[in-house]
Amino acid sequence: MSARTINLTLKIWRQRQGEKKGAFETFEARGISTDSSFLEMLDVVNENLTLSGREPVAFDHDCREGICGMCGAVVNGRAHGPEAGTTLCQLHMRHFQDGDTIAIEPFRARAFKVIKDLAVDRGAFDSIIQAGGFISVNTGSSPEANSTPVPQENAEAAMDAAACIGCGACVASCPNASAMLFLSAKVSQMALLPQGRPEAAKRVLGMLRKMDALGFGNCTNERECEADCPKEISIAHIARMNREFLKASFFSKEK
């Protein structure tokens, strides 16, 4: 952990709450420790803004260990920045050079309204889950856990999908602002497990319908989502979801 300090020029998107338009504003960030995370670098900028009587930059964040999915911004054109498999809070400043200029803007999509500066409303993701991203089991009505074996291979594949943190990077990086990677991760997890089969058709149809209604685009195999996903969720899950969709459309009574 041999820390250096670097100086940076930041171009950060500023947008007031309730306004439809914003603009980039330039800030100098001096003496940033390369051991800092990207969000800690923004903390330093905000402390200085506060002391100089200006309003700090609003950005969402919480766990700062890459699991809650609350943080995220587009850094130099990449959702969560340049490092693969990394959330913004886990991106460290040692990956930048002294004198770099960094552009920071919010996740953009029709379905993600900017609240203020870098903070966006991702409530649409909750709506998609509410449209079927669960197994309808009431508390207390579950059978003994080992009464339903799940092949280890399926459990592992389901876990690969379930690792999604719902951050929205897939939408921000997709030219169509599609939520297919997010949606397919949940559909795929449930489809791989015997517990998820009874509602499989209803789930995929309901969630897809909701995604369309919320103004997300469709998938055209650009694969940008997979490249920027901090949990490296594979687009193979989109393929599995498409199979589920076809099965549901042709062979189920669900509409």
Partner 1 sequence: MTLDSKVPGGPIEGKWRKHKAELKLVNPANKRKFTVIVVGTGLAGGSASASLAELGYNVKTFCIQDSPRRAHSIAAQGGINAAKNYPNDGDSVWRLFYDTVKGGDFRAREANVYRLAEVSNLIIDQCAAQGIPFAREYSGLLANRSFGGAQVSRTFYARGQTGQQLLLGAYGSLSRQIAAGKVTMFPRREMLDLVVVNGRARGIVVRNLVTGQMERHEAHAVVLATGGYGNVFFLSTNAMACNVTAAWRCHKKGAFFANPCFTQIHPTCIPVHGAFQSKLTLMSESLRNDGRVWVPKTKGDARKPKDIPESERDYYLERKYPSFGNLVPRDVASRNAKFMCDAGMGVGETGLAVYLDFADAIERDGKAVIEKKYGNLFAMYEKISGEDPYTTPMMIYPAIHYTMGGLWVDYDLMSTIPGLFVLGEANFSDHGANRLGASALMQGLADGYFVIPYTIGGYLAGGGLEPVSTDSAAFADAEKEAVARIEKLLSIGGKRTVDDFHKELGHLLWNDCGMGRTDAGLQNALDRIPAIRAEFWENVRVPGGRADFNQSLERAGRVADFLEFAELMVTDALARRESCGGHFNEAFQTPENEALRDDENFCHVAAWEYAGDKKAPVLHKEPLTFENVKLTQRSYK
Q: Binders of partner 1 among 118-157, rule CB under 8 A?
A: 119, 121-123, 125-126, 129-131, 133-146, 148-152, 155-156
Q: Which segment (103-111, 158-166, 218-226, 238-246) binds partner 1 by CB under 8 A?
A: 158-166
Query: Can you tell me whether residue 152 is helix, strand or coil?
Result: helix
Give kind and range of the element (H or E) at residue 48. helix 38-51
Which of 54, 82, 220, 252 is the binder for partner 1 (CB under 8 A)?
A: 54
Write the DSSP symbol of residue 62: S
Are the C-beta atoms of residues 132 and 199 closer than 8 Å to each other?
yes
Instruction: By CB under 8 A, tell whether 7 contacts partner 1.
Output: no
Q: Which segment (74-82, 90-98, 100-108, 169-177) binds partner 1 by CB under 8 A?
A: 90-98
Instruction: By CB under 8 A, tell whether 19 contacts partner 1.
Output: no
Instruction: By CB under 8 A, tell whether 254 contacts partner 1.
Output: no
- The helix-helix angle for 123-130 and 180-191 (nearest 10°) equals 30
Q: Residue 97 or 220: which CB sits closer to partner 1? A: 97
Rounded Cα distance, 222 and 135, in Å: 31
> Looking only at residues 179 through 218 of this chain, which bind partner 1 when binding is defined by CB under 8 A?
189-190, 193, 195-196
Rounded Cα distance, 166 and 252, in Å: 29
> Looking only at residues 97 through 116 of this chain, which bind partner 1 when binding is defined by CB under 8 A?
115-116
> Looking only at residues 219 through 248 of this chain, which bind partner 1 when binding is defined by CB under 8 A?
none
> Looking only at residues 25 through 44 of this chain, which bind partner 1 when binding is defined by CB under 8 A?
33, 35-37, 39-40, 43-44
How many chain residues are in contact with partner 1, going by CB under 8 A? 79
Are the C-beta atoms of residues 73 and 60 closer than 8 Å to each other?
no
CA-to-CA separations, 124 to 33, 211, 216, 251, in angstroms, rounded: 36, 8, 9, 29
Q: Which segment (97-105, 159-167, 172-180, 241-249) binds partner 1 by CB under 8 A?
A: 159-167
Q: What are phi and psi of 12, to 5 degrees?
A: -110, 135
